[in-house]
């Protein structure tokens, strides 16, 4: 399809931008551009068709099944958008006086209370803009804590080998050294290796539970105890909270701080539909280090912003992605106390259902009851037929399914990681299972067809290698 610049015709005007309502100010010539901006000139009709055409090329959860593991691509209820579109939320400015935005402060306060209850934490910041930003903020809390005790020897963050790739990356960004601990044969943390890894240099542990194999680590209390006895703190990566929301609390597992992905667990848009939101919660002994500001409630029922006593400062401007918090609050209150538990239960049920339908056809390296996601290994299939995880993933596109996560976690070779989420019906799961079973049979019968897949999509198989090695990052104008 043509790009906007290719559709552009000189002087083809359009009036999407309203006339300026405030007095125009002229600048000194030295501050002005020498050449006009190169903007496409296009009619509103053509612009509208252009974006509609782009929309047709996407795949979202509104288009079909989207089992992208560890991403929790659940359906985002429309009521979330409706509430977040209220003019009282969209028309406010972050610099307005507190007394004129009490409703917005109440949203932040109430969401904090609810999420603290769900996670077993005592306080929370909404500043981090997404998950990895939350991880980074959580690690700064751990750093601040040790610094406040003049405990400067603690430089190591322990990360299991099944961790999300962001964990070690965030730890390095926050100035720590990463110590990897291997998994045991059941897919959990190897306790003996963990005991060997801890010491007076241990700053903390980063862990997601259930882990990226979709397995709940039964030794979790022992794990957090080992870290605490060594003087470290425990950080919970909330990416997989959808498996346990309302049932088990990270705070009760021994974690000291957590991040949540509102755009995963709490039904707010994800990916291109973002922005995200990665609030960080902590136990009371860490709350004075939280980023500023934090919303508090006075005895008279009014709300105000407070700077925590030993704050790390700000990790983002103002109060984070506020409208995302509005959507998450709408989601939580729509589901209610029972609905939250039902959502996570169904997420686990759906994953186990799909896993059991597929495990006769594909290898399941960790054959246990899973939580919200599970991981298949196509290593043997690749050996026998030449068909890889990539080929099966591309093949699923032809059937209107967004592929599962591929080649992750790294401890499973030729991995496909499925997370169906609670929002899919049994019929959708059955259809998806039939499609993946069909693809498995195709691997025996016509591997070449799968090497070339997808066949029915807008584009075939893009040359990812050239795209990564020689990316075209901007439009080249004719006269350049």
Partner 1 sequence: MLNYPTELKYTKTHEWVKEEDGIFTIGLSDYAQDALGDIVFVNLPEVDDEVTAGETFSDVESVKAVSDVYSPVTGKVVEINEELLDNPAAINEDCYNAWLIKVADVTDTEELLDAEAYEQVCKEEE
Applying CB under 8 A, which residues contact partner 1? 165, 379, 383, 390, 406-408, 410, 413, 464-465, 468-469
Q: Please name the helix (run of DSSP H) or strand (run of DSSP E) that holds residue 358, with its range, or none.
A: helix 322-358
Q: Tell the smallest beta-carbon distance from residue 465 to partner 1 (Å).
A: 4
Q: Considering beta carbons, is residue 73 or 390 the nearer one to partner 1?
A: 390
DSSP state of 363: B
3-state secondary structure of 133: helix
DSSP state of 361: T
Q: Tell the smallest beta-carbon distance from residue 299 to partner 1 (Å).
A: 52
Q: Facing residues of 237 across strands?
A: 259
Q: Considering beta carbons, is residue 18 or 185 the nearer one to partner 1?
A: 185
Residues sharing a CB contact under 8 Å with residue 18, sequence separation 6 or more, in sequence order: none
Q: Tell the smallest beta-carbon distance from residue 1 to partner 1 (Å).
A: 25
Closest CA to 204 of 290, 137, 139, 136: 139
* Total residue count of the chain as it appears in this document: 480
Q: Please name the helix (run of DSSP H) or strand (run of DSSP E) that holds residue 118, with its range, or none.
A: helix 102-119
Q: Tell the smallest beta-carbon distance from residue 178 to partner 1 (Å).
A: 9
Q: Please name the helix (run of DSSP H) or strand (run of DSSP E) that holds residue 417, with its range, or none.
A: strand 415-418
Q: Which two tokens stand for residue 432?
A: 């998806």
DSSP string, 208-238: -SS-TTS---TTHHHHHHHHHHTT-EEEEEG
Q: Considering beta carbons, is residue 20 or 472 the nearer one to partner 1?
A: 472
Q: Considering beta carbons, is residue 415 or 439 the nearer one to partner 1?
A: 415
Q: Give the C-alpha separation, 95 to 174, whole Å.
A: 30
Task: With beta carbons less than 8 A apart as the criterion, state whether 413 and 376 touch.
Answer: no
Q: Considering beta carbons, is residue 183 or 277 the nearer one to partner 1?
A: 183
Q: Considering beta carbons, is residue 52 or 469 the nearer one to partner 1?
A: 469
Cβ-based neighbour number of residue 44 at 10 Å: 11
Q: Give the C-alpha separation, 326 to 10, whole Å.
A: 43
Q: Considering beta carbons, is residue 14 or 410 the nearer one to partner 1?
A: 410
Cβ-based neighbour number of residue 69 at 10 Å: 27
**Exposure string over 193-203, b if 16+ CB within 10 A, otherwise e:** bbeebbeeebb
Q: Tell the smallest beta-carbon distance from residue 356 to partner 1 (Å).
A: 27
Q: Tell the smallest beta-carbon distance from residue 386 to partner 1 (Å).
A: 13
Q: Considering beta carbons, is residue 168 or 251 the nearer one to partner 1?
A: 168
Q: Tell the smallest beta-carbon distance from residue 390 to partner 1 (Å).
A: 8
Q: Considering beta carbons, is residue 33 or 469 the nearer one to partner 1?
A: 469
Q: Tell the smallest beta-carbon distance from residue 407 to partner 1 (Å).
A: 4
Give the phi and the psi of residue 12 in degrees, each rounded to 5: -85, 95
Q: Tell the smallest beta-carbon distance from residue 57 to partner 1 (Å).
A: 21
Q: Which two tokens stand for residue 168?
A: 């070690």
Task: With beta carbons less than 8 A apart as the criterion, state whether 402 and 73 touch.
Answer: yes
Q: Tell the smallest beta-carbon distance from residue 378 to partner 1 (Å).
A: 13
Q: Which two tokens stand for residue 415?
A: 């991995």
Q: Considering beta carbons, is residue 177 or 306 the nearer one to partner 1?
A: 177
Residues sharing a CB contact under 8 Å with residue 171, sequence separation 6 or more, in sequence order: 139, 157, 159, 177, 178, 206
């Amino acid at each position: 399809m043509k790009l906007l610049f290719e559709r552009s015709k000189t002087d083809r005007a359009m009036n999407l931008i309203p006339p300026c309502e405030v007095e125009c100010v002229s600048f000194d010539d030295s501050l002005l551009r020498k050449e006009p901006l190169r903007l496409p000139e296009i009619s509103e009709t053509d612009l509208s068709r252009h974006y509609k055409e782009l929309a047709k090329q996407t795949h979202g959860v509104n288009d079909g099944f989207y089992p992208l593991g560890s991403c929790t691509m659940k359906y985002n209820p429309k009521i979330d958008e409706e509430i977040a579109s209220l003019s009282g939320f969209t028309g406010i400015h972050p610099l307005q006086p507190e007394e004129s935005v009490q409703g917005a402060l109440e949203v932040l306060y109430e969401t904090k209370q609810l999420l603290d209850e769900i996670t077993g934490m005592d306080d929370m910041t909404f500043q981090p803009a997404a998950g990895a930003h939350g991880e980074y903020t959580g690690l700064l809390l751990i750093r601040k804590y040790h610094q406040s005790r003049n405990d400067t020897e603690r430089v190591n963050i322990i990360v299991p080998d099944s961790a999300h790739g962001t964990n070690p990356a965030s730890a390095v960004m926050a100035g720590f050294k990463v110590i990897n601990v291997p998994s045991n044969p059941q897919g959990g943390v190897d306790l003996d290796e963990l005991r060997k890894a801890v010491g007076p240099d241990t700053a903390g542990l980063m862990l997601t539970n259930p882990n990226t194999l979709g397995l709940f680590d039964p030794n979790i209390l022992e794990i957090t105890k080992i870290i605490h006895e060594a003087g470290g703190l425990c950080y919970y990566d909330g990416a997989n909270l959808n498996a346990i929301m309302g049932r088990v609390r990270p705070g009760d597992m021994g974690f000291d701080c957590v991040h949540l992905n509102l755009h995963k667990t709490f039904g707010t848009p994800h990916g291109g539909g973002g922005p995200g939101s990665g609030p960080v919660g902590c136990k009371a002994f860490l709350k004075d280090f939280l980023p500023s500001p934090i919303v508090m409630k006075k005895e008279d029922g009014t709300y105000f912003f407070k700077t925590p006593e030993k704050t790390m400062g700000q990790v983002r401007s103002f109060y984070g992605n506020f409208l995302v918090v509005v959507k998450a609050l709408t989601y939580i209150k729509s589901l209610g106390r029972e609905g939250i538990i039902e959502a996570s239960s169904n997420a686990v049920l759906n994953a186990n259902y799909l896993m059991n339908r597929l495990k006769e056809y594909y290898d399941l390296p960790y054959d246990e009851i899973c939580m919200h996601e599970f991981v298949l290994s196509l290593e043997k299939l690749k050996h026998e037929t030449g068909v890889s995880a990539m080929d099966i993933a591309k093949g699923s596109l032809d059937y209107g399914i967004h592929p599962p996560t591929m080649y992750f976690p790294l401890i499973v070779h030729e991995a496909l990681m499925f997370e169906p989420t609670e929002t899919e019906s049994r019929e959708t799961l059955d259809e998806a299972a039939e499609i993946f079973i069909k693809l498995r049979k195709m691997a025996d019968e016509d591997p070449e067809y799968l090497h070339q897949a997808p066949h029915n999509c807008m584009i075939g198989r893009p040359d990812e290698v050239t795209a990564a090695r020689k990316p075209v990052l901007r439009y080249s104008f004719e006269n350049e």
